[in-house]
Amino acid sequence: MFTLRQYLDTLTEPDGLLRDLHGVEIRRDPAGRPRFVAGNSAAIFRVRYAGRECALRCWYRPQPTARLRALYGDELREKGLFVYRTPRSGEWVDVALCDWIEGPTLHEAATGAALRRDTGQLRRLSRAFDAWAASTVADDEAWGDLKPENLIVDTRGAIRPIDRDARFRPAFAGERSPELGTAAYQHPARTIDDFDARLDDYPAAAISATLAALALDPRLLDRYGTRDGLLLDPSLGSGDPARREALALFERQGDAPHYRIARLLASPTLRLPGLAALLEEAAREEEATPKAAPAGSPDAGKGQQGPATAKEPVAEKPTAHQAPASAEEPPELFVEAGLWGFRSGGRTVVSPLYDCAFDFTEGLAAVRLGATWHYIDPSGRTRISCPGCEAVKPFRGGQAEVRRDGRRFTIGREGKISE
C-alpha cells in the first residue's frame, strides 16, 4: 500500500524514478503546490507529457495488472513509476496516463447552478446526463461507481466519465465486484456478487431524477442536499421525502419520462428494465421543450410558465420545436404494460408513459400522469396542465369540460377556465 505523501515526494523529484515516462512535468497551482485529486482508491495528478495535458493515476493499493490492462489498455504504464517506501527501498508500480479532461465535476456544476438558482444551466446538465446515460445503460458494460463526482462536464457541456476502477466489462463476467460504489447513489440491496452490465441502472436513474428535479426547483438542494449525495437517500427507499417531492414536481409539470424514472427508484432490485428508453425519451423531451419553472421560484413569470396551481389550469406557449398540427389522421391510442401512448402509421409518436389517456381531438389529447391531468399535442409536449381536476373531457369546438371539487368548468386552448 502507498500513501499520497509517497507519491507526492516521488513526483516532486522524479528524476531516475520513471521507466518510460521521462519528461513528465507535474502541474502546480499559483502557490507552487502540485495539482492533484485524492480519491478513495487512487490519487490523480495533473501532469504535462509529450506536449499534452494528462492525468497520471496512481493507486494506493496494488491492483491486478491484468485487470488494469483490460480497463486502461495502452494508457496503462506497467511498472512505470518507482515509489520509495523508505529512503532506501521501494518498488516499481503500475500507473495510468490518461487525457486530462478540463471542466468541473457534475456534482460541482449542479450544486453551483442550484445555489445560483440557474434553472437554465440545470436543464442543460439534465439533458446532457440523460443523453449520455441512455447509451451507457444500454451497452454491455458498466462503470460500477457511477456518481456526479466521477463525471466531468467538459468545455462543450458533454458528460465525460473519469473513474474506471470499478468498471464491469464482458471479460469480467463471473467475477465479484471490486467495490460497492458510493452508497448515496447505489441500490441498498447491492452486494459484491452483483457485477454485470446493469450495475449503472439505479445510479443513472437517481442522478437523472435528481438533476431534473433541481431544474424544476433548485431549492430542493437547500432542503435535502447532503455531503455524500445531491438529493436522494437510497436507504429510505419509497419513504424518501426528496423522491416524493420530485415525483410531485414531475407529475404537476407533466414530465412523464422523469416521473417514470423516479418511480423506478422504488424497485426492490437494482436492475431497472426499460430505463434506457426512458432516459432517451427524457433527453429528447428536454431538447424539444424547456422545462417550466416551479411556482414561486425566481424564474416564475420570467418567460417561463410555472407549474399549474390548484386554482387554474395552465397552458404552455408553442415553441419552434413543437410539431405543427397535422391534417392527417390523429395518432391512435395504444396500451403497453398498463401505460398509454400513441401511434401513427405503425410508429410510436408518444411513448406509453401515461396512466390514462383519451383520443386526440382538435390537436390535443387528455392524459393522466399520476393523479394529474394534462393535455398534450401530437409530439407529446404538455400544452395544458390541470392539477386538482378529478376529471377532464376531450376538446370540442375549442373548449373542454373539466371537473374540480365536484363542479364543472370549461377551459379554452389557452388554458383559461370559465364556469
Q: Which of the four pLDDT bands, split at 50, 70 and 90, describes residue 414?
A: confident
Alpha helices in 47-200 (DSSP H): 65-72, 106-115, 119-136
Half-sphere exposure of 368 (CA within 13 A, CB side): 16
CA distance 57 to 97: 6
Give the range among 39-53, 141-155, 286-300 with minimum mean pLDDT.
286-300
Do residues 142 and 200 touch, judged by C-beta distance below 8 A? yes
The pLDDT assigned to 18 comes to: 73
Q: Where are the domains positioned within the chain?
A: 4-99, 106-288, 314-418
Give the range among 16-20, 178-182, 258-262, 401-405 with minimum mean pLDDT.
16-20
What are all long-range contacts of 90-96, with beta carbons under 8 Å and residues at least 24 apart? Answer: 92/19, 93/2, 93/58, 93/59, 93/62, 94/59, 94/62, 94/63, 94/65, 94/68, 95/21, 95/56, 95/57, 95/58, 95/59, 96/56, 96/57, 96/68, 96/72
Q: What is the mean pLDDT of residues 241-246?
A: 96
The pLDDT assigned to 312 comes to: 52
311 has pLDDT over 60: no
β-sheet bridge partners, residue 56: 45, 97
User: How large is the angle between the packed helices 201-216 and 119-136, nearest 10 degrees?
Assistant: 160
The pLDDT assigned to 159 comes to: 98
User: What would you measure as the largest C-alpha separation in the chain, in angstroms?
Assistant: 90
Give tens-digit pLDDT for 251-309: 999 999 999 999 999 999 999 999 999 999 999 876 655 443 222 223 333 333 333 34
3-state percent helix, strand, coil for the chain, nearest multiple of 5: 30, 25, 45
CA distance 185 to 204: 8
Give tens-digit pLDDT for 325-367: 445 789 999 999 999 999 999 999 999 999 999 999 999 999 9
Residue with cell 426492490: 268
Q: CA 27 → CA 23, 39, 46, distances in Å?
A: 12, 18, 6
Give tens-digit pLDDT for 72-125: 999 999 999 988 887 778 889 999 999 999 999 999 999 999 999 999 999 999
**Arch. (CATH architecture) of 106-288:** Orthogonal Bundle (1.10)
Give tens-digit pLDDT for 152-176: 999 999 999 999 999 999 999 999 9
Which DSSP category does 216 fall into?
Answer: H
The pLDDT assigned to 86 comes to: 79
The pLDDT assigned to 316 comes to: 53
Q: Which fold has domain 314-418?
A: Lipocalin (2.40.128)
Taken in order 309, 314, 319, 323, is the CA torsion positive or negative? positive
User: How large is the angle between the packed helices 256-264 and 275-288, nearest 10 degrees?
Assistant: 150
The terminus-to-terminus CA distance of the chain in angstroms comes to: 75
CA distance 371 to 74: 54
144 has pLDDT over 90: yes
Return the top range by mean pLDDT from 16-20, 39-43, 178-182: 178-182
Do residues 161 and 143 touch, judged by C-beta distance below 8 A? yes
Q: What is the mean pLDDT of residues 40-47?
A: 92
The pLDDT assigned to 293 comes to: 29
Query: What's the pTM?
Result: 0.88
The pLDDT assigned to 319 comes to: 39
